[in-house]
Amino acid sequence: MFTGLIEEIGQIESLQKKSDGMLLYVKAKKILEDAKLGDSIAVNGVCLTVVDI
């Protein structure tokens, strides 16, 4: 089982409901410095895909 590494604790800025799901906007500094579209970021054990920076 992969336990992961916690690099930073961010804050939820907003949630936006979409017809096909939700957009979760997270305020974080360190982890987003080198994030790219398509990267995965774990939030409470769930891997989410970066779709906007």
Instruction: Confirm whether 26 is domain-assigned.
Output: yes
- The per-residue pLDDT of the chain, averaged, comes to 84
**Domain extent for 19:** 9-34
| In the chain, beta strands by DSSP E | 11-18, 21-27, 40-43, 46-49
- Flag whether 49 is in a domain: no
- Neighbour tally for 39: CB within 10 Å: 15
**β-pairing, 46-49 with 11-18?**
unpaired
In a domain, 47, yes or no: no
Q: Is 23 helix (H, G, I), strand (E, B) or coil?
A: strand
The answer to whether residue 35 scores a pLDDT higher than 70 is: yes
Report pLDDT for 19: 93
pLDDT tens figures, 15-33: 999 999 889 888 888 888 8
CA 34 to chain centre: 13
Q: Does residue 20 fall inside a structural domain? A: yes
Report whether pLDDT(39) > 90.
no
What gap in Å lies between CA 13 and CA 39, rounded to an integer?
Answer: 19
In a domain, 13, yes or no: yes
Is the pTM higher than 0.75? The answer reads no
Domain count, the chain: 1
